[in-house]
């Protein structure tokens, strides 16, 4: 079905993969799994002769069958336990067999972190392209928190695979939240990190309800940061300028609470301000990803807007499992995609979707100080 469109496919190089690691870490808002591991696996796939190909969203046929795929579990586990490598392909083949179809393309569940690489690696093994889009435009901790699910896709039947070779099929879930609950219980039994492929979507649905240009955006972000470093410019300023972002805090991590609970990494990072933020205390609440930023106890930035903790010198995003006492960091906020800011989306990915009943979402642009968005 896609043969007439192959000339528009973008085959990634090792340089593209290096840039994607940086950009996916930024968009991961602390979660999605450590992208360094994903980069190594993608680079190995390239060196073994596989092609990692991106398809422009506009070129996806309306009747294409598109399978979304990604890792599920705690980022800490995915960093400590290396994948076997073919979990995603086993998921795809089991799903195709269960539903008697052949996938035409793979879609990314979340562009953040290692989950930017999982679809690429699986697609390269299957000889398929990955659509230049995803279901989050960032990373979220739960499966129902995709634009696919929010806007009507039923993700079961789905298939989950672990590094040991186990294959689990979720035949039917009465809601997307129930699918998440059952899968979360299963991933704990499988050791805390697995791969899951969801029921296929039509190309028409993906074009309407996915976050567009995810891979090109992430790679462009990575290139911008690398170029700033090479020219001895400020990579954080380059990031804010490119993404209409805002530097909200600079400081040193002076306390860190982090726990593994129910398949999630939860906790809080306390950041004692310095330079322009001296005398102020910032805090970031975490559930796999960075969810809420407070300054001196007052909420300033809230999910679904993006909150990123970066090394203050290199501009490298620090995933939640890599946060450490004493790190000198910058906290940057980026606006979310409009598909995440609708009333139906905020019910799922706004503060109340994470149990913060007393916090209302206010777009970060509404909190922007006079004088612009870049630091």
For residue 135, the 8-state DSSP code is S
Please answer whether residues 71 and 114 qualify as being in contact, where contact means their C-beta atoms are separated by less than 8 angstroms.
yes
What's the full length of the chain, in residues?
375
Mean pLDDT of all residues in the chain? Answer: 91
pLDDT tens digit sequence for 312-332 = 999 999 988 889 999 999 999
pLDDT tens digit sequence for 41-56 = 999 999 999 999 999 9
The CATH fold assigned to 3-214 is CV3147-like fold (3.40.1610)
User: 3-state DSSP call for residue 268?
Assistant: strand
Q: Could you give the CA distance from residue 314 to residue 331 in angstroms, rounded to a whole number?
A: 13
The CATH number of domain 236-357, selected from 2.40.390.10, 3.30.1330.10, 3.20.20.70, 3.90.1150.10: 2.40.390.10
Q: Could you give the CA distance from residue 139 to residue 222 in angstroms, rounded to a whole number?
A: 17
Kindly state the average pLDDT of the residues 298-318. Answer: 96
Domain ranges of the chain: 3-214, 236-357
pTM of structure? 0.91
pLDDT tens digit sequence for 135-177 = 999 999 899 999 999 999 999 999 999 999 999 999 999 999 9
Please answer whether residues 361 and 351 qualify as being in contact, where contact means their C-beta atoms are separated by less than 8 angstroms.
yes
% of residues, the chain, pLDDT over 90 = 81
Q: Are strands 10-11 and 53-55 parallel, antiparallel or unpaired?
A: antiparallel
Q: Around Cβ 127, how many Cβ atoms within 10 Å? A: 9
What pLDDT score was predicted for residue 193?
82
What pLDDT score was predicted for residue 13?
97
Question: Which structure tokens are listed for 64?
Answer: 């294409």
Structure confidence at residue 262 as a pLDDT band (50, 70, 90): low
What pLDDT score was predicted for residue 266?
83
What pLDDT score was predicted for residue 370?
34
Q: Could you give the CA distance from residue 7 to residue 123 in angstroms, rounded to a whole number?
A: 17
Region of 43 (left: φ > 0; alpha: ψ -120 to 50; beta: rest) is: alpha
What pLDDT score was predicted for residue 129?
98
pLDDT tens digit sequence for 78-123 = 666 777 789 999 999 999 999 999 999 999 999 998 999 999 999 9
């Amino acid at each position: 079905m896609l043969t007439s469109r192959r000339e528009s496919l973008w085959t990634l190089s090792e340089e593209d993969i290096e840039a994607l690691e940086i950009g996916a870490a930024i968009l991961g808002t602390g979660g999605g799994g450590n992208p360094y591991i994903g980069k190594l696996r993608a680079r190995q796939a390239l060196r073994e002769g596989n092609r990692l190909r991106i398809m422009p969203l506009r070129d996806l046929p309306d009747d294409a069958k598109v399978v979304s795929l990604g890792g599920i579990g705690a980022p800490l586990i995915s960093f400590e336990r290396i994948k076997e490598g073919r979990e995603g392909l086993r998921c795809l083949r089991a799903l195709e067999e269960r539903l008697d179809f052949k996938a035409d393309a793979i879609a990314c569940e979340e562009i953040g972190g290692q989950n930017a690489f999982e679809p690429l690696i699986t697609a390269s093994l299957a000889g398929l392209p990955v659509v230049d889009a995803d279901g989050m435009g960032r990373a979220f901790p739960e499966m129902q928190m995709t634009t696919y699910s929010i806007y009507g896709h039923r993700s079961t039947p789905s298939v989950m695979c672990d590094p040991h070779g186990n294959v689990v099929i979720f035949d039917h879930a009465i809601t997307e939240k129930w699918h998440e609950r059952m899968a979360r219980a299963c991933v704990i039994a499988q050791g805390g990190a697995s791969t899951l492929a969801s029921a296929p979507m039509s190309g028409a649905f993906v074009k309407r309800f996915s976050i567009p240009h995810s891979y090109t955006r992430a790679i462009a972000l990575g290139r911008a940061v690398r170029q700033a470093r090479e020219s001895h410019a400020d990579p954080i300023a380059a990031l804010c300028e490119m993404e209409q972002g805002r530097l909200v805090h600079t400081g040193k991590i002076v306390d860190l609470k982090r726990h593994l609970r129910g398949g999630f990494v939860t906790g809080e990072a306390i950041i004692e301000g310095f330079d322009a933020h001296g005398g102020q205390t910032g805090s970031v609440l975490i559930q796999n990803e960075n969810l809420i930023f407070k300054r001196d106890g007052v909420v300033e930035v809230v999910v679904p807007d993006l909150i990123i903790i970066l090394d203050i010198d290199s501009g490298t995003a620090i995933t939640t499992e890599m946060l450490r006492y004493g790190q000198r960091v910058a906290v940057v906020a980026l606006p979310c995609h409009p598909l995440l800011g609708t009333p139906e989306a905020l019910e799922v990915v706004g503060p109340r979707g994470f149990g913060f009943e007393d916090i209302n979402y206010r777009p970060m642009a509404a909190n922007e100080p006079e004088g612009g968005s870049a630091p």
